[in-house]
Amino acid sequence: MFAKLGGGITRRPLVFIFTWVVLLGIAISCAFFGFGKGGLFDRMESSESMSEGTESDEVAALTATSTHLSVTVVVDGVSVAELGADPTKAMAVVGALAQLGANEWVESVVHPFLFPDPTDPNAQALYSANGTGFVAAITLVEAYADLDSTALKDAKASVSNSIEDVQTALQAVFPDARALELSNTLVGDAINELVQSDLVRSETITLPVALILMIIVFGGVIAAGLPLVGAIVSIVIGLGAVWGLTLFISVDSFLLNVISIIGVALSIDYGLLVVSRYREEVARLLASDAPPLGEDGEIDTDEVVRQALVSTISTAGRTVSFSALTIACSLAGLFVLESEIFRTIAFGAVSVTVLAVATAVTLVPAVIRMLGPALVRPSLVSKVPGLKQVAQAMSDSTSDTGVFSRLAHFVHGHPWIIMTVVIAILGALAWPIVGLKPRTAFADYLPADKPVTQAYDIVQQQYPALRSQSVIIVADAPAEATVPFYQQLTTTDGVSFVMPPQPLASDPSRTVISLYMDVPDQVGQDVTDLVLDLRDGQFDTDYPILVGGNAALQHDFVSSLLSRAWIALLIIVAAVFILLFLMTGSLVVPLKALIINSLSLLASMGATWFIFSNGYLGMPKVFGIETFIIACTISFGFGLAMDYEVFLLARIKEYWDAGDTNDEAVEHGLQRSGRIITSAALIIIAVFIGFTFGDMVAIKEIGVALALTVLVDATLVRMLLVPATMTLLGHWNWWAPKPLVWVYDRFKIIH
């Protein structure tokens, strides 16, 4: 199949290029213009639920109000004491707030000055605890919810302008006054804007850096640009596919960064392997005893290019295709998790994986065919003093001996020592993972420098009755029947404030009780323990209760992931065993790969937690690693590790099949693939580090985690641990039961 594909590409390269251009044009139209349905960035959302069907999700649904029809105005820099002592200033403030009610989209405005009795608890709840401000609650007209995207944008701007007018009027009385807007919609917009800005910033940094490094690796601009062309095409078409997905389900904005991370990493991996193998095949043909000749007796460069391409697609093309299949299966494990955010991430990641390998085995070879021998000729870059030596050290290997074969030979001489030292290092890196705390906190995604975040922080710190509840309880009983339960909650250790029982808005026969704990981490263990105590019946109630809130959401989210994690792991294990068996004919190699790759992932996650829990290397200090970042890192990291495993084993097996001894095959295979692995790893690490320059903590976490995964895997694991274990196992590396030998002979994958 791959030989036929190579033949088709060499005969009709323009057909393949034109097809990709058409797909790219359609994707750009979808992602950026949307055919009247809004572009991709306009259709992005922030997840409201991360664990569908759980108890916390049910509580969230029951207590949800029409939050899209409400806006909170947080006024700061106003002396409440002066307002009480100076009626003139009080009237000026009331007059400023009256401007809000005049807006056509505002139905009502509630503020503390509407209450005849200033000591009314409802009025007091609207004043800040430190006496420097108050809040006003705006209810928007119902028609606001039915506006199309264009009209909604205008309506938002109208309300925001009215709030700015209030601030201007307040500053005439209190010069330091601020009127900050806070709403769920505004918070979601701020998060989406942060995702977009981080995406632009990271790509602005990573793509130029990747290009420079690939110019050094290949010693030329043309060869270096081909993997990046594949990356850009696969990412943009992937964005178009996600736009199509938004027509059917809500898609979290974080998915854009996932597509970018996976698209760049895999496109570079696959593009490097394909281009390097092509140059290796060209060198082999030119150095052969019978190179392709033209009618004039000279070497036929066009025929050299054609044969080299067919051979490249038949070998490297087959390898990257099956590697991508394994990665796609690893990522597909996210589909079985009980969370829509993981299903959308899986869709985007699998899509861009397929696109990355498709561009590597069709678009890149087609462009190579059109360029002809230009890709083989020495580049002007290779003549730059200094760069020539660097390029020679990192470029394609056309010999079976060199730095990496000597490294493998050294490992053969000391396998036990090297294996022990490497495992000890991996263990030390992994050790901090025993204290790793999964975290799911909405506030972690808020951009620090935005007014909406400042408003949110003020509410959390100064308005106890309005801040995010630590725990929300829905009791299946009327409010008056829950008074003893409420009184019991007020005397519970760690609870600082409990809202009196209120009838549930959606069902007045039930009651909602909100309580607050004065702890630094509202999703920490103290709050989680209270959630579990409530659910376990530690409180005396004779009616059913449901327990929700942020800590409950985090607990339910983690529990839902763990309940299906074994299925995801089973998918990954099956994919690895099938692929590596079909590549090597061995059952030992897949088992060893699973163990070694798991050690690599544990080491990288342990090191990541060590960095973020202490705030090292300029990273923010955090209470825990975002739960879905852990799951994504395991899935993505395992896929990238498998990439390097496949690249290395494919070449080792090639030499084993050619008659080399086990140690010779390892030496020659490492020599042929070592430069590609280390070069790709260097570039991808630079790409992942680029994502840490964004502002969103979750993106920093996944950038650091994946950079460490690649660093550990491409150095300690591929260069040292794999050769050491293969030395110790000897010919047992290639063992399989006889009944499976026929299966391998029938379906084997040959690089």
| Nearest CA among 603, 677, 687 for reference residue 645 | 677
Of 86, 85, 141, 137, the residue nearest 115 (C-alpha): 137
Q: What number of other Cβ atoms are within 10 A of residue 142's Cβ?
A: 10
CATH number of residue 454's parent domain: 3.30.70
CB-count burial class (<10 Å; 0-12, 13-18, 19+) for 145: exposed
The CATH number linked to 659 is 1.20.1640.10
Among the residues of 615-721, which ranges form H helices?
Answer: 627-657, 662-690, 697-712
What pLDDT sits at residue 520?
75
Q: What does residue 616 show for φ and ψ, rounded to 5 degrees? A: -80, 165
Q: How far is CA 131 from CA 26, 84, 483, in A?
A: 56, 11, 31
547 & 561 share domain: no
Higher pLDDT, 210 or 400: 210
DSSP state of 395: S
**Amino acid 49: pLDDT:** 62
Residues 161 and 222 in one domain: no
Q: Which of 182, 202, 223 is the last residue of a domain?
A: 182
Q: Which two tokens stand for residue 216?
A: 């050094």
- For the segment 217-261, what is each residue's pLDDT rounded down to a tens digit? 766 677 778 888 888 899 899 988 888 888 887 777 777 777 888
Which ranges constitute the DSSP H helices of 290-402? 301-312, 318-332, 340-358, 364-371, 387-394
3-state secondary structure of 504: strand
Question: Are β-strands 495-498 and 507-517 bridged in parallel, bridged antiparallel, or unpaired?
Answer: antiparallel
Identify the residue whose tokens are 């007020």. 490
Examine residue 99 and state whether it is found in any structural domain, yes or no.
Answer: yes
Distance separating alpha carbons of residues 48 and 45, to the nearest angstrom:
9
User: Would you give the DSSP letter of residue 373?
Assistant: G
Residue 292 has pLDDT above 80, yes or no: no
Is residue 456 located within the same domain as residue 561? no
Domain assignment of residue 52, yes or no? no
Question: Cα 302 vs. chain centroid, distance in angstroms?
Answer: 43
Question: Which residues lie below 8 Å from residue 705, measured CB to CB, with a gap of 6+?
Answer: 604, 605, 608, 625, 629, 633, 637
User: d(Cα 746, Cα 751) in Å, to the nearest integer?
Assistant: 15
The answer to the question of residue 525 being in a domain is yes
- The CA angle 565-623-633, to the nearest 5 degrees, is 35
Does a structural domain hold residue 297?
Answer: yes
Residue 389 has pLDDT above 60, yes or no: no
Parallel, antiparallel or unpaired: strands 438-439 and 625-626: parallel
Closest-CA residue to 750 (of 357, 315, 277, 278): 315
Q: Over 90: is that where the pLDDT of 494 sits?
A: no
Per the listing, tokens 């519970």 go with 492
| 731 belongs to a structural domain | yes
Q: Tell me which residue of 522, 546, 552 sits closest to 473, measured CA to CA.
A: 546
Full residue range of the structural domain in which residue 395 is found: 2-37+188-440+556-747
pLDDT at 66 over 70: no
Burial of 36 (0-12, 13-18, 19+ CB in 10 A): exposed
- Asked whether residue 417 is assigned to any structural domain, the reply reads yes
What is the arithmetic mean of pLDDT over 605-610?
95
58 belongs to a structural domain: no
20 pLDDT above the threshold of 90: yes
- Helix (H) or strand (E) segment spanning residue 15: helix 13-32
| Residues 239 and 130 reside in one and the same domain | no
Q: For residue 749, what pLDDT is reported?
A: 65
Mean pLDDT computed over 651-675: 87
Phi and psi, residue 174, nearest 5° = -125, 100
Banded model confidence at residue 418, pLDDT cuts 50, 70, 90 = very high
Q: Does 538 share its domain with 562?
A: no
Domain final position from 161, 182, 203? 182
Question: Of 102-111, 141-150, 425-434, 524-533, which gets the smallest average pLDDT?
Answer: 141-150
Residue predicted with more confidence, 298 or 624: 624
Place 623 in a pLDDT band, splitting at 50, 70 and 90. Answer: confident
In three-state secondary structure terms, 75 is strand
Residue 539 backbone dihedrals phi, psi, to 5 degrees: -110, 145
Amino acid identity at 186? L
Higher pLDDT, 539 or 297: 539
Q: Are residues 529 and 621 in the same domain?
A: no
Scanning 431-516, the segments in alpha helix (DSSP H) are 451-462, 483-490
CA-angle at 140, arms to 134 and 146, nearest 5°: 150
Q: Which of 19-28, 527-536, 635-644 has the lowest mean pLDDT?
A: 635-644
What is the reported pLDDT for 584? 82
Cβ 302 vs Cβ 360: under 8 Å: no
Q: Which of 150-159, 233-242, 387-396 has the highest mean pLDDT?
A: 233-242
Q: Provide the residue type at 293 as one letter.
A: L
Q: Which of 230, 88, 244, 249 has the alpha carbon at shortest distance from 173?
A: 88
Q: Residue 112 gets which letter from DSSP?
A: G
What are the Cα distances from residue 62, in Å, to 72, 473, 553, 679? 21, 10, 14, 53
Cβ neighbours of residue 614 closer than 8 Å, sequence gap 6 or more: 621
* pLDDT score, position 295: 67
Give percent of the chain above pLDDT 90: 19
Tokens of 7: 């033949």
Closest CA to 317 of 650, 673, 675: 650
**3-class DSSP assignment, residue 498:** strand
Q: Measure Cα distances from 300 to 282, 294, 295, 297, 724 in Å.
A: 12, 5, 8, 8, 44
Do the Cβ atoms of 133 and 76 come closer than 8 Å? Answer: yes
Which of 52, 48, 43, 44 lies closest to 67, judged by CA? 48
Whether 395 has a pLDDT exceeding 60, the answer reads no
Interval 329-366: pLDDT, tens: 878 888 888 778 888 888 888 899 999 999 999 999 99
Residue 387 pLDDT > 60, yes or no? no
Q: Tell me the pLDDT tens digit for each residue of 401-416.
A: 778 888 988 998 999 9
Q: What does DSSP assign to residue 379?
A: P
Mean pLDDT of all residues in 76-81: 89
Q: Flag whether pLDDT at 108 surpasses 70.
A: yes
pLDDT interval class at 392 (50, 70, 90): low
Residue after which a domain boundary falls, among 182, 206, 221: 182
pLDDT tens, residue by residue, 437-478 = 888 776 677 777 788 888 888 988 888 778 778 899 999 999
Contact predicate 682/665, CB 8 Å = no
**Residues in Cβ contact with 609 at an 8 Å cutoff, skipping those fewer than 6 apart:** 432, 433, 435, 436, 625
Question: Mean pLDDT over residues 698-713, rounded?
Answer: 90
Same-domain check for residues 547 and 563:
no
| Residue 201 and residue 301 in one domain | yes
Q: Confirm if 206 and 687 have CB atoms less than 8 A apart.
A: yes
Percent of the chain with pLDDT over 70: 93
Domain co-membership, 689 together with 566: yes
Mean pLDDT of 180-187: 82
137-151, 222-236, 237-251, 383-397, range with the lowest pLDDT:
383-397
pLDDT of residue 750: 62
Q: Is residue 45 part of a domain?
A: no
Q: Are 157 and 53 in contact (CB under 8 A)?
A: no
Q: Considering its fold, how many domains does the chain have in total?
A: 3
**Residue 548 and residue 565 in one domain:** no
C-alpha distances out from residue 169 to 66, 158, 175, 717, Å: 29, 17, 10, 65
Is 209 in the same domain as 330?
yes
**pLDDT at residue 25 in the model:** 93
Check whether residue 600 and residue 539 sit in a common domain. no
607 pLDDT band, cuts 50/70/90, is very high
